[in-house]
């Protein structure tokens, strides 16, 4: 589905609420959306739940007959808003737990297990460097180098001009390089 024309046709089918086409759309975007969410929540289970939620939300939106101009940018927008809602909810829960005197949330063990796989390698430095970046930088690095989106696509998603995306990307890459150097 790398062919842009096929992608456009698929989007038209999705907008027509074709469930089969939506399945293909899921196949095309699931990895990207999962990764986008995963780096924001830093937990496999939360990323899985949120990703499933994102695809369902987009479908519901389509079913309501609302117009979506750019499906590509729209799904990232829904993903971003879902993460924001997730954090809001978690903060509320933490406040409630603190008030009731219950124990704080246990860290995600799967994540720790996964990290152990790359201990001591260069990739560990890269991962630590990436996680040490501020959200804005982390997001643009993921979109450009992990999801391999074009500058134009990123500009659409982030609702920024191509020029400012280039500037932001340059700064993010420099910051990442510095972080990696520190961890080396």
Q: Given the rule CB under 8 A, which residues bind other proteins? A: 5, 8-9, 12-13, 16-20, 22-23, 26-27, 30-31, 34-36, 38-39, 44, 47-48, 51-52, 55-56, 59, 63, 111, 114-115, 117-118, 122-123, 125-127, 130, 141-142, 145-146, 173, 176-177, 180-181, 184
23 vs 93 by CB, closer to other proteins: 23
162 vs 177 by CB, closer to other proteins: 177
Reduced 3-state DSSP string for 103-169: CCCCCCHHHHHHHHCCCCCHHHHHHHHHHCCCHHHHHHHHHHHHCCCCHHHHHHHHCCCHHHHHHHH
Instruction: Give 2's DSSP letter.
Output: -
CB of 34 to other proteins, least distance (A): 4
CB of 53 to other proteins, least distance (A): 10
Tokens of 30: 């699931």
CB of 92 to other proteins, least distance (A): 26
CB of 101 to other proteins, least distance (A): 34
Contact of 36 with 79, CB cutoff 8 Å: yes
16 vs 105 by CB, closer to other proteins: 16
Contact of 97 with 104, CB cutoff 8 Å: yes
100 vs 117 by CB, closer to other proteins: 117
85 vs 122 by CB, closer to other proteins: 122
CB of 104 to other proteins, least distance (A): 24
**Burial class of 99 by CB neighbour count within 10 A (0 to 12, 13 to 18, 19+):** exposed
The single residue listed with the structure tokens 């469930």 is 19
């Amino acid at each position: 589905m790398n062919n842009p024309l096929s992608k456009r046709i698929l989007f038209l089918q999705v907008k027509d609420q074709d469930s089969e086409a939506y399945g293909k759309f899921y196949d095309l975007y699931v990895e990207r959306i999962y990764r986008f969410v995963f780096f924001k929540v830093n937990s496999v289970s939360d990323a899985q739940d949120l990703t499933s939620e994102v695809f369902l939300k987009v479908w519901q939106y389509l079913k309501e007959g609302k117009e979506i101009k750019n499906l590509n940018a729209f799904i990232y927008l829904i993903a971003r808003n879902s993460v924001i809602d997730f954090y809001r909810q978690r903060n509320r829960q933490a406040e409630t737990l603190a008030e009731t005197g219950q124990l704080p949330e246990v860290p995600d063990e799967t994540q720790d297990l996964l990290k152990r796989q790359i201990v001591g390698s260069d990739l560990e430095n890269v991962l630590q460097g990436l996680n040490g970046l501020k959200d804005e930088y982390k997001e643009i690095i993921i979109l450009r180098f992990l999801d391999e989106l074009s500058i134009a696509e990123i500009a659409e998603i982030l609702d920024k001009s191509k020029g400012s995306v280039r500037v932001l990307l340059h700064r993010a890459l420099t910051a990442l390089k510095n972080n990696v150097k520190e961890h080396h």
